[in-house]
Amino acid sequence: MENIILIGHGSPKKDANNIDIVGRLLHNVIHSDCSKGCVRAAYLQFGEPDIPEGIKQCVQDGAKRIIIHPYFLSSGMHVTKDIPEMIKDAKDKYPEVEFIYTEPLGIHDKLIQIVAERIYAANGLKPEAIEERSFEIISEETDLKGFPPEQVPIIQRVIHATADFEFKKTLLFHPQAISAGFEAIKAGKDILTDVEMVKTGIIKRWLKPWGGKVICNINDDDVIRLSEETGRTRAEIAMEKALSGSHNIGIIAIGNAPTALLKVIDIFTRHSSLVTRHFPLVIGVPVGFVKALESKSSLSAQKFPFITNLSRKGGTPVAVAIVNALLKMLKGGDIKSEK
């Protein structure tokens, strides 16, 4: 069993002794499948536990290997003398335990980025400048060079909306997805959403010049009544209503309801007469544990244009980000330098 101890200096100001938070974040990164508290914090002075007690707790919990990281910026006396002496005492006391002592934080390019971010924040950046810097950080932290250029702004905006780089790996595009979305917007087609939150998030001023509008029927009285009578979800009934009553839908954005996505797939595969000859672009990214991944897997096998992600993740922010990325790309300009 391996434990990690982050060593902080400690402060008489008790709420400053908070590197246990860093420990939890580190635990999530390197031991993501572990439910045990194997990353701990200890303090040189003022804070609890102190270093000997922190080591003792690890040993009592069965640790056979203890990695000790001095959470210090430089190799001063504490790092080069005080802490190593405590580790030497621990080795004598616990000879059956392996101890590993790491370098401190030191000089690292990521620390330079953090300092730069603090400077930007202190200068009171405007919202658009903060977003621009956010896209710069995304570009710095992930390589999207291997992706088709037209997909990159969409992937970036989804990552920006979720702070989740996993979408780089899970987003899936039908070959005609982006061109279908562009054609629909330029033709003044409407955007159908599964829930009001997706409708609210779409930037209407970017859509307005093209003549389309955003539609959501989930709160219509007849939809609510039919759901109560049949036991079917309002989301699927709303989709059915919209697609049977309108021939001006060019994009369908589903971020919440798997049943809505499954209903759209059912309509498009079995009742194609209910829609126009050119299928709308289906953005299907519902989030959840029940039917979410199944519905997206089904969408990924379809021949009509789609954008989806093959994981349980998704949701309103993802659906909104994809639609707004398409609108922004048509609006013009580099998505990373939006003004």
Given 31, 69, 108, 160, the catalytic residue: 160
Is residue 8 a part of any domain in this protein?
yes
Q: Are residues 187 and 320 in the same domain?
A: yes
Is residue 69 a part of any domain in this protein?
yes
Predicted local confidence at residue 15, as pLDDT: 84
Q: Are residues 169 and 97 in the same domain?
A: no
Residue type, 334: D
Residue 136: CA count within 13 A, CB half-sphere = 12
Tell me the residue range of the domain where 269 lies.
Answer: 163-330
Q: Tell which of 101, 133, 149 closes a domain.
A: 101
Residue 271 designated active-site: no
| Alpha-carbon gap, residue 132 to 128, rounded angstroms | 6
Q: Are residues 62 and 182 in the same domain?
A: no
C-alpha closest to that of 37 among 47, 24, 22: 24
Report residue 141 as tokens.
Answer: 């932290």
Q: Are residues 87 and 191 in the same domain?
A: no
Predicted local confidence at residue 182, as pLDDT: 96
Predicted local confidence at residue 130, as pLDDT: 64
Predicted local confidence at residue 274, as pLDDT: 47
User: Domain total for the chain?
Assistant: 2
Predicted local confidence at residue 334, as pLDDT: 41
Q: Tell which of 52, 85, 101 closes a domain.
A: 101
Is residue 199 a part of any domain in this protein?
yes
- CA angle (240 as vertex; 234, 242 as ends), nearest 5: 100
Q: What is the CATH number of the domain that holds 78?
A: 3.40.50.1400
| Alpha-carbon gap, residue 238 to 100, rounded angstroms | 60
Predicted local confidence at residue 115, as pLDDT: 80
Is residue 221 a part of any domain in this protein?
yes
Q: Are residues 40 and 168 in the same domain?
A: no
> What is the helix (H) or strand (E) element at residue 284, kind and residue range?
strand 281-284
Is residue 6 a part of any domain in this protein?
yes
| Alpha-carbon gap, residue 303 to 297, rounded angstroms | 13
Predicted local confidence at residue 269, as pLDDT: 86
Q: Tell which of 61, 84, 101 closes a domain.
A: 101
pLDDT tens, N- to C-terminus, the chain (339 residues): 889 999 999 999 888 888 988 888 888 777 766 777 789 999 999 999 999 999 999 999 999 999 999 999 988 999 999 999 999 999 999 999 999 999 999 887 677 767 877 776 676 656 566 667 677 777 777 888 889 999 999 999 999 889 899 999 999 999 999 999 999 999 999 999 999 999 999 999 999 999 999 999 999 999 999 999 999 999 999 999 999 887 799 999 999 999 999 999 999 987 654 444 568 999 999 998 889 999 999 999 998 999 999 999 999 999 999 999 999 999 874 433 333
Predicted local confidence at residue 146, as pLDDT: 86
Predicted local confidence at residue 216, as pLDDT: 95
Is residue 140 a part of any domain in this protein?
no
Predicted local confidence at residue 276, as pLDDT: 44
Predicted local confidence at residue 191, as pLDDT: 97
Report the predicted TM-score, pTM, of the whole model to 2 decimal places: 0.65
Q: Are residues 315 and 183 in the same domain?
A: yes
Is residue 127 a part of any domain in this protein?
no
CA distances from 243 to 193, 251, 280 (A): 11, 11, 10
Is residue 320 a part of any domain in this protein?
yes
Q: Are residues 177 and 96 in the same domain?
A: no
Q: Are residues 95 and 167 in the same domain?
A: no
